[in-house]
């Protein structure tokens, strides 16, 4: 209870973190209840109303097929949240496991893992993700897989650094002396004490995963039409920017708000969990 009260107290003192949390809760609510909230079918074509500007009937206007843009942006929230959750969850699991064993075992195994991560770090994430997706073939699943493949080294390096500090701590030596197995030491004693930086990084990467997936869809490597994915919608709208400003504006704003919300929350969690950044 004391920790919860302390968390709530620090949360109240960080209005930007509260803003980020509210944005994320609204996004989750929208994703969960998209079929109820959306006024139309996201795939419903109405050629008679193609490229109509925002109005009382279509608040965000319509696209080249007459589909309601508000509906498609709402359903795009569901796709984007699923992308972020899947990519971050699998990246955290894979990268953390590799980093845990690499840092604890050390030796040649650690050396090999770190050299592999160096290879991934030598190429910009988006460029490498583009290359992997192009090799595998266009599609949302391949785009998500490519993001997982290029991001696991971040978590492997991060948790390895934590493990190197923790593994020589007195309580770890005591656990070894009592005959605790390697798995018990890693998952029962080391992982809980190394998890905070992972949580902070994951909260920041959630928005990045959505943004990178939208970028891959924008260049035709991610979600394919007619899927109501924000990056694919902007890609379709880029030829109509001068005459139909709403076509690209609202999906773009959705990406902006989503990434902003997760960045605000991630910065807030970092400030609240890092004792060097807390206000006493």
Angle between helical axes of 2-12 and 15-32 (0-180°, round to 10): 100
Lowest mean pLDDT among 66-80, 85-99, 103-117, 187-201: 187-201
Q: Which has the higher per-residue pLDDT, 5 or 86? A: 86
Q: Where do the domains of the chain lie, and which CATH numbers do they carry?
A: 7-35+82-273 (1.10.3720.10)
DSSP state of 52: P
Measure Cα distances from 237 to 40, 60, 191 in Å. 20, 13, 46
Compute CA 5 distance to the chain's CA centroid, rounded to the nearest angstrom: 28
The pLDDT mean for the chain works out to: 86
pTM for the model stands at 0.86
CA dihedral for 204, 275, 192, 24, sign (positive or negative): negative
pLDDT at 279 over 60: no
- Enter the tokens of residue 122: 């030598």
Q: Which helix (H) or strand (E) holds 50?
A: none
pLDDT at 280: 45
CA–CA distance, 92 with 133 (Å, rounded to integer): 20
Q: Does the structure show a pLDDT above 90 at 180?
A: no
CA distance 142 to 165: 36
Q: Is the pLDDT confidence value at 218 over 60?
A: yes
In angstroms, the CA 52 to CA 33 distance is 26
| Local structure of residue 62 (DSSP, 8 states) | B
Confidence class for position 100, pLDDT limits 50, 70, 90 = confident
Read off the pLDDT band of 95 (50, 70, 90). very high
Tens of pLDDT along 103-125? 888 888 989 999 999 999 888 88
Query: Pick the residue with more confidence: 187 or 46?
Result: 46
Which band of pLDDT confidence, cut at 50, 70 and 90, is reported for residue 246? very high
Question: Quick one: average pLDDT of 274-280?
Answer: 51
Whether residue 7 is predicted with pLDDT greater than 70 in this model: the reply is no
């Amino acid at each position: 209870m004391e920790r919860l009260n302390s968390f709530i107290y620090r949360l109240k003192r960080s209005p930007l973190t509260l803003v980020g949390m509210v944005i994320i809760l609204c996004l989750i609510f929208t994703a969960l209840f998209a079929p109820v909230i959306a006024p139309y079918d996201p795939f419903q074509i109405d050629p008679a109303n193609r490229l109509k500007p925002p109005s009382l009937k279509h608040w965000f206007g319509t696209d080249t097929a007459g589909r309601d843009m508000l509906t498609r942006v709402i359903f795009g929230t569901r796709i984007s949240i699923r992308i972020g959750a899947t990519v971050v969850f699998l990246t955290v699991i894979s990268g953390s496991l590799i980093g845990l064993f690499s840092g604890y075992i050390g030796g040649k195994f650690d050396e090999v893992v770190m050299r592999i991560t160096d290879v991934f770090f030598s190429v910009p994430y988006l460029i490498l993700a583009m290359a992997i997706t192009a090799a595998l073939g266009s599609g949302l699943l391949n785009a998500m897989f490519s993001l997982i493949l290029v991001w696991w080294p971040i978590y492997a390096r991060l948790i390895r650094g934590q493990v190197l500090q923790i593994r020589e701590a007195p309580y770890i030596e005591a656990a070894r002396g009592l005959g605790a197995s390697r798995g018990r030491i890693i998952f029962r004693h080391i992982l809980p004490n190394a998890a905070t930086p992972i949580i902070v990084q994951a909260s920041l990467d959630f928005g990045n995963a959505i943004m990178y997936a939208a970028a891959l869809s924008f260049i035709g490597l991610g979600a394919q039409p007619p899927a109501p994915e924000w990056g694919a919608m902007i890609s379709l709208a880029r030829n109509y920017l001068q005459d139909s400003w709403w076509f690209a504006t609202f999906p773009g704003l959705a990406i902006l708000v989503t990434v902003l919300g997760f960045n605000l929350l991630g910065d807030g969690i970092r400030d609240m969990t890092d004792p060097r950044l807390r206000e006493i």
